[in-house]
Amino acid sequence: MEESVLPDGFSKHKVAIDRLIQLRVMTETFDRKKEAMYQLNPKFQLNLQKHIVHGGVLPREPMPSNITVRLPSLEELEAYAVEQWECFLLHLISSSEAGKTTNISSSMMKVFQRGLLSQRDDREPPRLTESGFQFLLMDTNAQLWYIIREYITNAEERGVDSADLIAFLLELSFHVTGKAYNTNTLTDIQRSITKDLSDLGLVKLQQGRKESWFIPTKLATNLSISLADTTSRKQGFIVIETNFRLYAYSTSKLHCEILRLFARVEYQLPNLIVGAITKESLYKAFQNGITAEQIISFLQQNAHPRVAERIPSVPENVTDQIRLWESDLNRVEMMPAHLYDEFPSRDVFEAACDFAREYGGLLWEDSKQMRIIVKADILTEMKEFLRRQKQ
C-alpha cells in the first residue's frame, strides 16, 4: 500500500490508515520481519462481500418538483424547526410560558424528561433536576444529541431495533435540507420515527393529493456534525454591561425562560429582554446545580455580534464576580459527622484519635476537654474500636 503513495501524500495516507484502524475497518499485523501489514476486518470483509453480491438499498432520492406542492423556503423551514424545538423545550420544562402544547405523546415526553425532571408524588408538578438546568444552558446541537441519545436508548421499549433506528438517523442526516422525500419509501417503523422527529422539528411532514412526503430541516442534517463544529452555531443575542445589566435581543420565550435561570428579568419588549445579573439570582442558579463556568460559557457563546468580536465578549469584572459569588457558597462544606466525648481515660482518647486519623476520618480534636469529631463514614469501625477498648 505504501509503494502506491506519492511522497507528498505519505502523511495523509498514514492518517487515513490510522482512522481505518480506529474504526476497526482494518487491522494491523506484523510479519516475521516485524514489518506492518494491514488486512480488512474479517466481519467487515464478510458484510462487504454480501453487499457486493446481493446488492444494497440505493440512497433515497428527492421527489421531483412537479409532484410536490409548493415546498417551504429554507427560511420558512428554519423558522418551523426553531418554533417546534422551542415549543418542545418549553413543554419539557413545564413552563407556564409555553404558548401551545406539543403533539408529543405523554409516553414519549417521559422518555425525554428522564434525568431532566423529577417528581416526588403526583400531587406536585415535576421539577427540573441539576442535569435539567445544565441541559437548558447547552447549545442546540448538544441538546439535540442528548435527546436523540435518550430516544435511541429507549427504542427497545417501543419495539424498535436500536440498530435500525441509528441507521435511519444517520441516513436522514445525509439528506438535503429543504428537499422532499416520499414517505412511501419508508417502512412502518421509519414512518413512526419520522412522526416523532416532526414533533421535535427535525422534519416537516406534508400531504399532497396522492403522495405524502417529509422535508428534513437543519436540525436533522446537523446530526452528522460534530459537537465541536462551530459552523452550526446560531447568531448571538446577549449584551452584558459592566454594571451587570443584561440586554437580550430576542423574541423567543425560551430565551427568556433560560435567562430567568441565572438572571433577574425585569421586563420584556416584543424583541428585547432587559434584566440584570444579581447575587440573589446567581445564588438561586448555584443551588439548582448550575456552575459559574456554565453561565459564563453560555453568555460568551450567545454574545451579540456587536460585542462577540471584542476580547473579552463578556466584561471581566462580571465574569470575575460570578466566580467569586460561587466561591462564597463553597467556603463552607457540610459533612455528616459524630461527636465523641466523656472518654474514660486519656489513653483511650488518644488511641481513638490515632484510630480515626489512621482511617482518614478525624475532623477535629480537643485534647483539653477530650472531645473529637469524626466522619460518619467510619461510624461502624469507630463503634467497634471503642467497644474493644471497654473490654
Question: What are the structural domains of the chain?
Answer: 2-54 (no CATH), 74-226 (no CATH), 238-330 (no CATH), 337-390 (3.30.70.2610)
- At residue 34, does pLDDT exceed 60? yes
**Contact status, residue 237 vs residue 311, Cβ threshold 8 Å:** no
Longest C-alpha distance within the chain, in Å? 98
- Per-residue model confidence (pLDDT) at position 103: 64
**Contact status, residue 64 vs residue 182, Cβ threshold 8 Å:** no
**Contact status, residue 263 vs residue 277, Cβ threshold 8 Å:** yes
- At residue 201, does pLDDT exceed 80? yes
- Collapsing DSSP states into helix, strand and coil, what is residue 175? coil
Taking residue 306's Cβ as centre, other Cβ atoms within 10 Å add up to 11
> What counts of helices (H) and strands (E) characterise the chain?
16, 14
Higher-pLDDT residue of 227, 200:
200
Whole-model pTM: value is 0.66
- Per-residue model confidence (pLDDT) at position 50: 78
Which residue(s) pair with 212 in the sheet?
207
Higher-pLDDT residue of 24, 77:
77
- Per-residue model confidence (pLDDT) at position 313: 93
Grid coordinates given for 134? 445544565
- Per-residue model confidence (pLDDT) at position 226: 53
* Residue count (the chain): 391
Q: Which of 318, 326, 322 is nearest to 239 (CA)?
A: 318
- At residue 186, does pLDDT exceed 70? yes
- Collapsing DSSP states into helix, strand and coil, what is residue 179? coil
Q: What are the Cα distances from residue 206, in Å, to 55, 61, 186, 203, 307?
A: 31, 17, 15, 10, 40
- At residue 266, does pLDDT exceed 90? yes
**Contact status, residue 261 vs residue 93, Cβ threshold 8 Å:** no
- At residue 105, does pLDDT exceed 80? no
**Contact status, residue 256 vs residue 97, Cβ threshold 8 Å:** yes
- pLDDT band for position 99 (cuts 50, 70, 90): very low
- At residue 182, does pLDDT exceed 50? yes
Q: Compute the mean pLDDT over every residue in the chain, rounded to the nearest whole number.
A: 85
Q: Are strands 36-40 and 362-366 parallel, antiparallel or unpaired?
A: unpaired
Distance CA 27, CA 115 (A): 39
Q: Which of 116, 91, 95 is nearest to 106 (CA)?
A: 91
- pLDDT band for position 122 (cuts 50, 70, 90): low
Side chain identity at 182, as an amino acid letter? N
- For residue 96, what are the contacts with CB-CB under 8 A and spacing of at least 6? none
Q: Are strands 212-216 and 238-240 parallel, antiparallel or unpaired?
A: unpaired
Higher-pLDDT residue of 256, 32:
256
